[in-house]
Chains A and B, each alone.
Chain A
Amino acid sequence: MSDLDVKKRPSIFKRKDVRLTGFLWVIFSVAIGYFAGEVQTRSMGAPASDTMATTINMMKVFTWVSAPIAGLVGALAATTLLSKLHFGDTPPEEADHEIRNSPRIVSGWIVVSAVLCLFAVVWGMVVLQKDDAALLNPKSMNVNVVGQQWVWNFDYVDNGKVRSSDLYLPVNKPVVFHVTSKDVIHSFWIVQMGIKIDANPGYLTETSVTPNKIGVFDVRCAELCGLLHAYMQTKVHVVSQADYDSWIQSQGGKI
């Protein structure tokens, strides 16, 4: 294996294919970052909690960070495709070089991917830490969530014996969900709030969120749980504190 690079050519940036690649790189990176980021943000809809807003934001940043990598690979690939192509039953001439390696490019590539990877990990950890800390917030209200094939039900343990099949939450109040299942594994997912935790039989799992928007949102089951898994869905009604209190009273609970 020879590690011979191309003969030192100070004018590498003047080569036509290199320039074309550079040009395409910029265009592709911007296009990928913008297009992919937009598509994601639009598809995911308006967030109903900070957790979801952070998630959408993270995905957008990840998209912009990986866009130059994808853009570079795309630009290099496009440049090679724009060179002379050969069709037929016999091979074209051999390439006019036999470059087998370039330690500089390889090490540069590894360093860049390692840095990007580190960035993703560190940022992910920071957000994760915030989400975990929210579980310990003493001001949170508590809701017990029980999954049973194929219906969710909710116990408002802070409000006496109130139970419901639709979830009611006051806006801007942190809530901790204590989730379990009566039979198989389900997964409690509030779509617009970006939280999800499995409901396991015999165990309690926890997740928390602070809804920040009044409205009606979706709870879906995200783990195949048998026959009517598709229908194991319900609604979340995020209402003002006053409306929440009157709802609790109408259900015979205490505030």
Chain B
Amino acid sequence: MNKRLVAALGTVVLGGAVIAGLGTYVASAKNDSRVLAATPAGTMETPQGKLPHYTLEMAAYPDSMAGSHGKDGGVHADWVTYGPVTNFQVPAHSAITITIKQYDSGARLNNDFFATVHGTIDGTATINGVAVKSVDPEAVGHTFTVHGLADAKSSLFVSVPLPAVPDEKLPPTGYTTNPTTVTFTFITGDAGDYVWNCEYPCGDGTTARFGGPMSTQGYMAGNFHVVNA
């Protein structure tokens, strides 16, 4: 009889091990752990006083040949993607300047709200050298929108539209040499885990064009960690 109890315990251990193994495999296989940390750039005078300054550079591509999907674009070479990676890390209580090079064409947003710049210093972003508060909602390529859980002590909501590269300026193959360059600066609050995603409907042809790359982290969505420096 006692042999049975030992065997039952063995089953539990074995079953637990199987489940733990499976969990670890699923978590690691599906988790893109590559994180791009912001580079320090001295200090910056902001409305909140002098703060440490950091910069971050990224790009939005019309397919996955660039970015972090490998040489042949990975499983979904035709999906739009951000690059060089899709997880970012910035310090808390700092001024963060992000520069995004946008290589894609575009059209109308689902929601004009995202044609306006939100959450940056002065509510402006610099687009190809010109500071603006909002752009034409009919010609947006992508957006970079950071948001998080409601309970965070200080909330972070930053949304910046990335205007489209006009169709006639897109080369037939490869990427344009003249991407839209968007630069903006915002101030982070307390440390916390946020996410970012694109709010321009650039996914596959499903409902609201929000399927495919829009619904997959590693393409048009990712993590945005604010950490204590």
A166→B199 contact, CB < 8 A: no
Interface residue stretch chosen among A23-31, A90-98, A99-107, A147-155: A147-155
Of B111, B116, B119, B207, chain A has the most CB atoms within 10 Å of the CB of B111
> Does A233 belong to the interface (CB within 8 Å)?
yes
Nearest neighbor of A184 in chain B, beta-carbon distance: B207
A231→B147 contact, CB < 8 A: yes
Nearest neighbor of B149 in chain A, beta-carbon distance: A233
Shortest B108–chain A CB gap in Å is 12
Of A146, A184, A220, A228, chain B has the most CB atoms within 10 Å of the CB of A228
Contact residue among A149, A219, A230, A235 (Cβ-Cβ distance under 8 Å from B210): A149
B150→A227 contact, CB < 8 A: no
In the bound assembly, the distance between CA atoms of A182 and B110 in angstroms comes to 7
Chain A residues within 8 Å of B151, by CB: 218, 233
In the bound assembly, the distance between CA atoms of A151 and B147 in angstroms comes to 8
A220→B113 contact, CB < 8 A: no
> Does B17 belong to the interface (CB within 8 Å)?
no
Shortest B103–chain A CB gap in Å is 23
Per the CB 8 Å criterion, the residue count for chain A at the interface is 24
B197→A150 contact, CB < 8 A: yes
B155→A166 contact, CB < 8 A: yes
Chain B residues within 8 Å of A5, by CB: none
> Does A178 belong to the interface (CB within 8 Å)?
no
Chain B residues within 8 Å of A151, by CB: 145, 147, 159, 199
Chain A residues within 8 Å of B116, by CB: 163
A220→B150 contact, CB < 8 A: yes
> Does A165 belong to the interface (CB within 8 Å)?
yes
A153→B110 contact, CB < 8 A: no
Which residues of A202-252 are within 8 A (CB) of B? 218-220, 226-228, 230-231, 233-235
A227→B111 contact, CB < 8 A: no
Contact residue among B149, B199, B217 (Cβ-Cβ distance under 8 Å from A148): B199
Counting from the closest, the 6 A-B pairs by CB-CB distance are: A183-B208, A233-B150, A218-B150, A182-B110, A153-B113, A227-B215
- Mind listing 30 A-B residue pairs with CB under 8 Å? A146-B111, A146-B113, A148-B110, A149-B197, A149-B208, A151-B147, A151-B159, A153-B111, A163-B113, A163-B116, A165-B113, A166-B155, A166-B157, A182-B208, A183-B110, A183-B207, A183-B208, A183-B210, A184-B210, A226-B215, A227-B214, A227-B215, A230-B149, A231-B147, A231-B148, A233-B148, A233-B150, A234-B147, A234-B150, A234-B155
Known A182-B110, A182-B208; 15 more pairs at CB < 8 Å? A146-B113, A148-B113, A151-B159, A163-B113, A165-B118, A165-B119, A166-B157, A182-B111, A184-B207, A201-B208, A227-B221, A231-B149, A231-B194, A234-B147, A234-B150
Mark B residues whose CB is within 8 Å of A.
110-111, 113-114, 116, 118-119, 145, 147-151, 155, 157, 159, 194-195, 197, 199, 207-208, 210, 214-217, 221
